[in-house]
């Protein structure tokens, strides 16, 4: 299992880096899909099957397709992006290191008490249970999420509509 975790983690981080470093946005998108798949693999290792499915559908399926579509639409499928000035890139790298350092240091310094993990055997992540929790305890946020999606749909349509006011 540990080996599997390391392999998956390596894929996750590697593809994430590649996403960022590839010149061509199409390649970035492809790498990101891979990254998402590896994260889905993590979910599977947690035995969170429903989440696994949803993740693949929403991210790899919906979001990434949307992104690819946009990239195609904008004709960005070539590596014509100019690099940032060297100073910015160095600054980006430095702040990357800094954030990582601080977050890790914070975590290490705060010395969390890691209890031995116990399996209670209780079912908490089957679809049935999740459904119950979602529709009992989180009923209102759930409805709001639906409203949010609706609104964002309308917003997206309105935003991307060609405006004819100026003409």
Partner 1 sequence: METNLALLLLFAPFAGFLINVFFGKKLGRNASGILGTLAVTVSFAATLFFFLQVMNTKVPVMVNLFEWLKLANFTVNFSFQLDQLSLLWLMFVTGIGTLIHMYSISYMHDDENMHKFFAYLNLFVFFMITLVMGSNLLIMFIGWEGVGLCSYLLIGFWYKNQTYNDAAKKAFIMNRIGDLGFLIGIFILGYLFHTVEYDMMKTELTNGWPVDKTWLGIAMLCLFIGACGKSAQIPLYTWLPDAMAGPTPVSALIHAATMVTAGIFMITRLNFLFNLTPDVLEIIAVVGAVTSLVAASIGLVQNDIKKVLAYSTVSQLGLMFLALGLGAYEIAVFHVITHAFFKACLFLGSGSVIHALHGEQDMRNMGGLRKVMKITFITFLISTLAISGLPPFSGFFSKDEILMTAFHHNKVLWIIGSLASIMTAFYMFRLLYLTFYKDFRGTEEQKHHLHESPSLITFPLIVLAILALVGGAISLPGMSWLNEYLAPVMAKPAEHHHLGNTEYMLMGIAVVGALIGIGIAYAKYIKKGEVPPADAEITGVTNVLYNKYYVDEIYTAIIVKPIYAIGSFFKNVIEVALSGFVFGLGRAATLLGNEGKTIQNGSVGFYLLVFVLGVCSILGYIFLVK
Partner 2 sequence: MENILQQVGIDNYIYLSTLLFCVGIFGVLYRRNAIVMFMSIEIMLNAVNLLLVAFSTYHQDAAGQVFVFFSMAVAAAEVAVGLAILVAVYRNHNGIDIDNLKKLKG
Segment (H or E) for 8: helix 2-21
Interface with partner 2 (CB under 8 A), residue from 45, 72, 139, 143: 45
Cβ neighbours of residue 144 closer than 8 Å, sequence gap 6 or more: none
Q: In Å, how far from its chain's centre is CA 44? A: 16
State yes or no: residue 92 binds partner 1 (CB under 8 A).
Answer: yes
Q: Which of 7, 72, 78, 81 binds partner 2 (CB under 8 A)?
A: 81
Q: With binding defined as CB under 8 A, does residue 49 bind partner 2?
A: no
Per CB under 8 A, does 21 bind partner 1? no
Say which residues have a Cβ less than 8 Å from residue 67's Cβ, sequence separation at least 6: 29, 32
- Residue 84 contacts partner 1 per CB under 8 A: yes
Binding partner of 105, given partner 2, partner 1, none, CB within 5-8 angstroms per partner class: partner 1
Whether 48 and 81 have beta carbons less than 8 Å apart is answered as no
Q: Please identify, using beta-carbon distances, which residue of 17 and 96 lies nearer to partner 1.
A: 96
Smallest separation (angstroms) from partner 1 to the CB of 114? 18
Whether 142 and 134 have beta carbons less than 8 Å apart is answered as yes
Q: Which of residues 127-166 bind partner 2 (CB under 8 A)?
A: 129-130, 133-134, 137-138, 141-142, 145, 148-149, 151-153, 155-160, 162
Q: Please state the closest distance from residue 2 (CB atom) to partner 2, in A.
A: 6
Smallest gap from residue 60 Cβ to partner 1 (A): 27
Report how far apart the first and last C-alpha atoms of the chain are (Å, whole number).
62
Q: Least distance to partner 2 from the beta carbon of 29, Å?
A: 7
Q: What is the DSSP string of 101-130?
A: HHHHHHHHHH----PPP-------SSHHHH
């Amino acid at each position: 299992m540990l080996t599997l975790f390391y392999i998956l983690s390596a894929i996750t981080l590697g593809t994430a880096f590649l996403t960022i470093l590839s010149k061509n946005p199409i390649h970035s998108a492809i790498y990101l899909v891979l990254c998402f798949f590896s994260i889905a693999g993590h979910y599977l290792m947690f035995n969170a099957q429903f989440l696994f499915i949803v993740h693949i559908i929403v991210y790899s399926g919906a979001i990434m397709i949307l992104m690819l579509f946009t990239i195609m639409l904008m004709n960005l499928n070539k590596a014509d992006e100019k690099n940032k000035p060297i100073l910015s890139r160095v600054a980006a790298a430095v702040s990357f290191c800094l954030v990582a350092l601080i977050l890790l240091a914070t975590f290490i310094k705060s010395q969390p008490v890691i209890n031995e993990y116990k399996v209670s055997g209780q079912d908490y992540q089957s679809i049935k249970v999740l459904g119950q929790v979602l529709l009992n305890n989180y009923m209102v946020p759930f409805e709001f999420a639906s409203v949010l999606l609706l609104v964002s749909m309308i917003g997206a349509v309105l935003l991307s509509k060609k405006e004819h006011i100026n003409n």
